[in-house]
Amino acid sequence: MADLKALADAVIKGDQNSAVEITKAALGEGAPAKQVLEEGLIAGMDVVGARFKKNEVYIPEVLIAARAMKMAMEILEPELVKAGVKPVGKFLIGTVQGDLHDIGKNLVAMMLKGAGFEVIDLGVDVKPEQFVEQAKSTGVHLLGMSALLTTTMPGIEKTIKALRDAEVSAKVMIGGAPVTQTYADKVGADGYAPDAASAVDLAKSLVA
Ligand code: B1M
């Protein structure tokens, strides 16, 4: 039986070749795709997330680990679909209107994927009506907005209002350097996370 602990370690080290090889070997030996995902890939990303939170690793290490996970996921995804394994939740994410910063948003998206969420990434400069339209057409459980500029933060409030007006029921979480819990409370967001690892914890608690 392929070693899923070794798969988790490959993700932690960002060793994409080993991650892909062990994933292929595990599936070849008949390991259930869900087990490979949970005990290998997600277990590895959980460790990376926890270390990132404690400042034991930094953004480059997280990005390298996420890339290894992504490569292995390409092998695993068709098998998960075949096995009917459902994602933890569907998450729509984007950077608000007028804002082109996407490094933090991408990191949050990668960590969410690493935790088993299906992530639909709308990119940057996303207008409130685009969030509303996509939230409705995809039926997501969670919607996340990132803002890096004090001048674009009001886009969060506008989008939340547009979502509520359109009766979109998805829970809303927000983040980005200038965003705070106080601001989240003021604009009626369901949650705020200061970093990507906390965003995963928050997302899990909001879909629980
Ligand atoms: Co810009 N920029 N920038 N910039 N930029 C900042 C944000 C700034 C603080 C720099 C400064 O002046 N000291 C400043 C904002 C000031 C303010 O409004 N308070 C600023 C400015 C002014 C500008 C321009 C206006 C500059 C100009 O043109 N005059 C311009 C605006 C363009 C626009 O958006 N319309 C601009 C442009 C750019 C670049 C294009 C050059 C580039 C962006 C490249 C890109 O993203 N593809 C850039 C960069 C790189 C930065 C800095 C240097 C780094 C931002 C970053 O990526 N941080 C930044 C200064 C700084 O922070 N040191 C700066 C790393 C990233 C991992 O952190 O995004 O905070 P962060 O994400 C974290 C958390 O915030 C959280 O998790 C992430 C990971 O832990 N998080 C979430 C983020 N989103 C979340 C969502 C969640 C939950 C958590 O739930 C959904």
**DSSP secondary structure letter of residue 201:** H
Q: Choose among 97, 99, 116: nearest CA to 34.
A: 116
pTM beyond 0.85, yes or no: yes
Task: Report pLDDT for 185.
Answer: 98
> Which residue lies with its CA nearest to atom 65 of ligand 1?
104
104 within ligand 1 shell (Cβ under 6 A): yes
Distance CA 144, CA 98 (A): 16
Task: Report pLDDT for 15.
Answer: 98
What count of residues does the chain have?
Answer: 208
Burial grade of 131 (CB within 10 A; 0-12, 13-18, 19 or more): buried
Task: Report pLDDT for 2.
Answer: 79
Task: Report pLDDT for 83.
Answer: 83
53 within ligand 1 shell (Cβ under 6 A): no
Q: What residue spans of 89-207 are helical by DSSP H?
A: 103-114, 128-138, 154-165, 181-187, 196-207
Task: Report pLDDT for 77.
Answer: 84
110 within ligand 1 shell (Cβ under 6 A): no
CA of 149 relative to ligand 1 center, distance in Å: 7
Task: Please give the backbone phi and psi of residue 94, each rounded to the nearest 5 degrees, phi first.
Answer: -165, 165
Successive 10-residue mean pLDDT values, the chain, 208 residues: 92 97 96 92 92 93 92 90 86 98 90 91 98 97 97 98 97 98 98 93 95
94 within ligand 1 shell (Cβ under 6 A): no
Q: How far is CA 114 from CA 22, 87, 158, 186, 190, in A?
A: 17, 11, 30, 30, 22
Residue of 148, 160, 171 best suited for mutating to test ligand 1, as the one with most atoms within 8 Å of CB: 148
Do 87 and 204 form a contact (C-beta atoms < 8 A)?
no
Q: Which atom in ligand 1 lies closest to the alpha carbon of residue 145? A: 91
